[in-house]
């Protein structure tokens, strides 16, 4: 750690050049190496203070010598203005507790903690003779990727140690990664500054109060999306911050940086980083390393590497593939594929190692990042986990483990939210969930909610199909100067008619009558251009449009549509006799509903007579029997109507029930 070269204000802790005497903000006398009251004096009865090493928002760090052990140390003290702040004192204590609980070569060592006789809270740690990753990036622009991989692997080791102890760093950034020189010339990494580290929930109530949900700590350029939103954090937040750090180290710029803290935080939540190969095309970062970094930067913690150890394994594979430098400064011999001082591998062996490592990294990137086909968007990892959770849930239902099943269904539903398949997987999950609530006593309300969700998904899907067909018809209706092209469009439109009819039926069943009306009117217009009015398809579409008008109470055009449809069906009676009888019965039923008995009776009587003569008649005959029975009962011929109803009841029992 280099000594602080500038003066500082003991009140606001801003730093100034050596020639300034008083702070321009609060007029306090500035301190430096010549007038700091601690420098040159014994602190806590055993540490001789030599100089100021650095300043932070909460503390100041001095270089000192242990008077008895002849060891150079760094002493961190809380700022004077925070000595009476109980929250600041507790956070300072927790930093010392977090760092002192770690015993790892890649984490700074804390030797002592206490309060001096003059009431100064402090802790004592290694005085590191190195420079921060931040200074190296500022000076060199970026770090050669082979050297960077070696640094990243050591950061992973330090993080893994902290995470195993239940500690989330929460402020991982280049300034908190110190690089020291090993005896062999390589880099030795030390993680420092656990000032806002969080002990995971098992650490107790006080710790949770200090870092309650909603509070935001950290450096915005390196904060995870969940950290920016003030949500509960776990170790995967550090994985994201490490992704930001790695990105900046090899690209020379962080993945996100806005004009303000808030803008930067919003970018972490909403934006996707540029590819390193685009931001720094001359950095020569291999695709495998880039994929690993981008995996760390996923918005969803579940899609990132889940542990620092997992990330290190992938980095090691990348290092094997590209020939990572073992030391800190990548010399020509260090960066040679065979490595300095190592036995040369045979070319074939090197190719195999490179291929295996590359395949591993490509698979990691594929599983984590590939979005999927256009009609089934989502990472394969999410689709795989959805399948696993759903299978476990269904198995739990069979075993009667209902609480476990409910939990697994919830996990499956959460995965569905990340997959763009028009909610097909979500609907499958919910249908399976209905089986759970049908078996689980006391969950009738939950069953109703799930059924409502399924119905809402069905409705939304039908709407989407409707919008797509309306866009398709825009292309059919556009004018084309070429007769051949226009003819081709019309033929394509005719091929889509069955789909129009199917979606029309779905819209009707969902009560989306306005949408059904618009669809059928446009479909009729296109079909009339193709074949004119005298066509069975026209008659079927008109019948459906008439039903749509009845549902909306738009009665004026119903008779005209049904009459025309009936005339077409009768003209082509030999082609579709059942539809002709059904159309006649629909016309009679419409008149009956309007209390126009004079028109309804001959229409319904004729429909029933013709229905009895059909070869495949059961469903049509059933409708005709019911309609004519209604007429008889409404015109004071109840016994005759009841007789037809009994005949209909017997017929209904013979008709097989369709299984969905």
- Reported for 253-256, long-range contacts at CB under 8 A and 24+ positions apart, including other chains, are 253/279, 253/280, 254/221, 254/222, 255/297, 256/221
| Global confidence as pTM | 0.49
Helices (H), 195-282: 205-210, 225-228, 235-251, 261-270, 276-279
The verdict on whether 575 is a catalytic residue reads: no
CB 60 within 8 Å of CB 54: yes
Q: What is the pLDDT of residue 405?
A: 92
Q: Cβ-count burial of 306 within 10 angstroms (0-12 exposed, 13-18 middle, 19+ buried)? A: middle
- The CA-atom distances, in angstroms, between 452 and each of 156, 435, 457, 459 are 47, 15, 9, 10
- The CA-atom distances, in angstroms, between 308 and each of 240, 269, 549, 632 are 10, 22, 64, 81
Q: What is the pLDDT of residue 385?
A: 67
Q: What is the pLDDT of residue 642?
A: 95
CB 221 within 8 Å of CB 267: no
Find the catalytic residue in 171, 334, 396, 421. Answer: 171
Helix 308-322 crosses helix 235-251 at what angle (to 10 degrees)?
A: 30
- Which H or E run contains 60? strand 59-66
The length of the chain, given as a count of residues = 660
Question: Position of tokens 């429909």?
Answer: 607
Q: What is the pLDDT of residue 238?
A: 93
Pick the closest to residue 340 from 353, 355, 327 (CA basis): 327
Helix (H, G, I), strand (E, B) or coil at 497: helix
| Segment 524-578, tens digit of pLDDT | 988 888 778 888 889 989 999 999 999 999 999 999 999 999 999 888 867 788 8
The whole-angstrom separation of Cα 507 and Cα 496 is 17
Q: What is the pLDDT of residue 381?
A: 57
Helix 444-477 crosses helix 513-531 at what angle (to 10 degrees)?
A: 30
Q: What angle do CA 544, 569, 624 make, to 5 degrees?
A: 70
Question: Position of tokens 């997992």?
Answer: 310
The whole-angstrom separation of Cα 436 and Cα 442 is 11
Phi, psi torsion values for 6, nearest 5 degrees? -95, 165
Helix (H, G, I), strand (E, B) or coil at 568: helix
Residues 445-482 as b/e (b if ≥16 CB within 10 A, e otherwise) read eebeebeebbeebebebbbebbeebeeebeebeeeeee
> What is the CB-side half-sphere exposure of residue 392 using CA atoms within 13 A?
17
CB 624 within 8 Å of CB 650: no
Question: Position of tokens 């249908």?
Answer: 431
| Paired tokens of 600 | 């309804």
The whole-angstrom separation of Cα 555 and Cα 561 is 10
| Paired tokens of 413 | 């539903």
| Segment 127-144, tens digit of pLDDT | 888 889 999 999 999 999
Name residues of the chain where pLDDT drops below 70.
1-5, 195-218, 323-376, 379-382, 384-385, 388, 479-487, 489-491, 493, 573, 657-660
Pick the closest to residue 82 from 11, 9, 8 (CA basis): 11
The whole-angstrom separation of Cα 214 and Cα 192 is 25
CB 245 within 8 Å of CB 174: yes
CB 91 within 8 Å of CB 138: no
The whole-angstrom separation of Cα 39 and Cα 49 is 5
Q: What is the pLDDT of residue 389?
A: 79
């Amino acid at each position: 750690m280099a000594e602080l070269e500038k003066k500082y204000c003991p009140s606001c802790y801003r730093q100034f050049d050596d020639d300034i005497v008083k702070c321009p903000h609060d007029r306090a006398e500035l301190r430096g190496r010549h007038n700091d009251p601690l420098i040159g004096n014994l602190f806590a009865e055993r540490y001789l203070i030599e100089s100021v090493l650095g300043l932070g928002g909460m503390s100041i760090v001095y270089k000192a010598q242990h008077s008895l052990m002849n060891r150079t140390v760094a002493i961190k003290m809380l700022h004077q203005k925070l000595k009476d702040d109980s929250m600041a004192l507790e956070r300072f204590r927790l930093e010392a507790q977090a760092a002192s609980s770690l015993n790892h070569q890649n984490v700074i060592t804390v030797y002592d903690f206490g309060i001096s006789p003059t009431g100064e809270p402090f802790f004592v740690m290694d005085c590191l003779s190195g420079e921060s990753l931040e200074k190296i990036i500022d000076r060199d622009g970026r770090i050669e990727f082979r050297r960077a991989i070696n640094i990243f692997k050591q950061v992973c080791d330090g993080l893994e140690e902290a995470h195993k102890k239940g500690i989330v760093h929460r402020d991982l950034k280049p300034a908190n990664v110190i690089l020291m020189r090993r005896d062999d010339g390589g880099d030795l990494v030390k993680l420092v500054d656990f000032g806002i580290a969080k002990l995971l929930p098992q650490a107790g109530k006080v710790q949770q109060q200090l870092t309650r949900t909603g509070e935001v700590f950290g450096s915005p350029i390196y904060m995870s999306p969940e950290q920016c939103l003030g949500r509960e954090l776990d170790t995967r937040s550090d994985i994201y911050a490490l992704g930001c750090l790695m990105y900046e180290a090899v690209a020379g710029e962080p993945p996100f940086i806005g004009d303000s803290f808030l803008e930067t935080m919003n970018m972490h939540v909403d934006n996707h980083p540029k590819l390193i190969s685009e931001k720094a095309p001359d950095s020569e970062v291999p695709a495998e390393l880039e994929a690993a970094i981008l995996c760390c930067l996923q918005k969803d913690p579940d899609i990132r590497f889940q542990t620092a150890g997992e990330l290190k394994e992938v980095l090691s594979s990348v290092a094997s593939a590209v020939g990572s430098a073992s030391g800190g400064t990548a010399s020509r011999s260090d960066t040679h594929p065979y490595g300095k001082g190592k036995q040369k591998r045979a070319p074939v062996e090197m190719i195999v190692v490179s291929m295996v490592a590359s395949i591993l990294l490509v698979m990691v990137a594929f599983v984590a990042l590939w979005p999927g086909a256009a009609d089934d968007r989502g990472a394969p990892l999410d689709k795989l986990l959805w399948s696993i959770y759903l299978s476990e849930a269904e198995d739990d239902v069979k075993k009667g483990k209902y609480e476990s099943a409910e939990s697994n269904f919830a996990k499956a539903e959460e995965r569905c939210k990340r997959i763009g398949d028009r909610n097909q997987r979500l609907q499958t999950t919910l249908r399976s969930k209905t089986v759970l609530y049908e078996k689980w006593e006391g969950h009738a309300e939950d069953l109703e909610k799930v059924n409502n969700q399924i119905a809402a998904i069905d409705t939304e899907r039908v709407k989407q199909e409707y919008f797509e067909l309306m866009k398709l018809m825009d292309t059919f209706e556009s004018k084309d100067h070429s007769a051949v092209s226009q003819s081709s469009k019309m033929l394509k439109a005719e091929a889509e008619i069955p789909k129009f009819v199917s979606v029309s039926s779905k819209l009707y069943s969902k009560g989306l009558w306005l949408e059904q009306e618009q669809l059928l009117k446009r479909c009729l217009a296109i079909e009339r251009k193709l074949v004119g009015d005298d066509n069975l398809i026209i008659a079927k579409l008109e019948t459906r449009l008439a039903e749509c008008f009845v549902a909306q109470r738009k009665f004026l055009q119903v008779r005209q549509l049904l009459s025309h449809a009936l005339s077409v069906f009768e003209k082509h009676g030999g082609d579709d006799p059942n539809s002709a009888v059904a159309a006649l019965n629909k016309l009679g039923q419409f008149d009956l509903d309007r209390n126009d008995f004079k028109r309804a009776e001959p229409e319904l009587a004729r429909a029933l007579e013709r229905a009895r003569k059909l070869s495949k008649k059961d469903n049509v005959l059933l409708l005709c029997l019911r309609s004519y029975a209604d007429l008889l009962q409404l015109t004071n011929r109840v016994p005759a109507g009841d007789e037809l109803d009994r005949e209909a009841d017997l017929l209904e029992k013979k008709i097989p029930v369709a299984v969905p």
